[in-house]
Amino acid sequence: MNCDAQIAKKYAAKLMPSLFPGMNPYLENPELWPEVHSRLIVALADAIAPALLPKYYVAIEKRIYLSTPEDRISIGIPDVSVVSPGEPTPSELTKSNSSIATLSKSSEPQIVTVPLDEEIQERYLEIRDTLTGTVITSIELLSPKNKRAGDGREAYTRKRQRILTSATHLVEIDFLRGGKPMPMEGVNQLKDYRILVSPSNFRPHAQLYTFKVQDPIPKFELPLKAGDSSVTIDLKPILDGVYDRGGYQIRIDYNQPLIPVLSKEQAAWLKRLLA
């Protein structure tokens, strides 16, 4: 049996659809979420486009801003270091300096990290009128940076406020249990996940769908121009398609603890589900 066949046989039992009735909380892992976010945005655009054409089209847009080192969870290490032939590496330089007895301690250089701003790109969807290009509806899938203090939240909050004071409808999908939810009033219970649907003609009111890890993802109507037939969005099969195509069934270790952690009740439910 060749290597490829052995790999296929080893993981064949794991190639199964997601067991979760709604959102798979393991996809929230910071190591996976940036990729999940990108895949889900594209998958959602592809799923809803046929129902919107030819009057509307779905544009995939991106928001770009600089994230300062203070705004990051951790400081990354550069992927590549360029060193001229024969030039010592920082570690070799440190060892060399420590072995030169003729230099005093005060004259030896320290190896430090220079803080660099990081360019952040966040993708979102815009439903546009085919004839005029006017943005009818903006669809946002929140990222961790949108939900904690710093550049990411400030950039998104400014954009969110511009939409809420315009004629553009807003759909805001929050599949992240961690962080601070976006501001809204009159909420009885936020639960784990949220979908906010804010038609411009209904403001300041909006429709808020909240659900727990154990719950199915609610379907919702996509707001369009007045008089147009509504389009129902079912995120569950779209998310499951991302899970399958991304190979997350063989990439996720379900024996590892969740990030963020679950409540005791939810942890017991998860144990029964995965048994």
Question: What is the chain's pLDDT, residue by residue, as a tens digit (275 residues)?
Answer: 565 655 554 455 455 678 999 999 999 999 999 999 999 999 999 999 999 999 999 999 987 766 666 554 432 323 333 333 444 544 554 455 554 445 556 688 988 877 776 777 789 999 999 999 999 999 999 999 999 998 889 989 999 999 999 999 999 999 999 999 999 999 988 899 999 999 999 999 999 999 999 999 999 999 999 999 889 999 999 999 999 999 999 999 999 999 899 999 999 999 999 98
Q: What is the pLDDT of residue 81?
A: 31
Q: What is the pLDDT of residue 256?
A: 92
Residue 123 Ramachandran class (φ > 0 left, ψ -120 to 50 alpha, else beta): beta
Q: What is the pLDDT of residue 28?
A: 96
For the chain, the helix, strand and coil percentages under 3-state DSSP, each to the nearest 5: 35, 20, 45
DSSP character at residue 129: E
Q: What is the pLDDT of residue 13?
A: 45
The contacts of residue 77 (CB under 8 Å, 6+ apart) are none
Q: In the β-sheet with 193-198, what is the strand arrangement from edge to edge? A: 56-67, 118-129, 135-141, 169-174, 193-198, 207-211
What does DSSP say about strands 56-67 and 193-198: parallel, antiparallel, or unpaired? unpaired
Rounded to whole angstroms, the Cα distance separating 190 from 174 reads: 11
Q: Where are the alpha helices (DSSP H) in 82-150?
A: 90-99
β-strand partners of 138: 126, 170
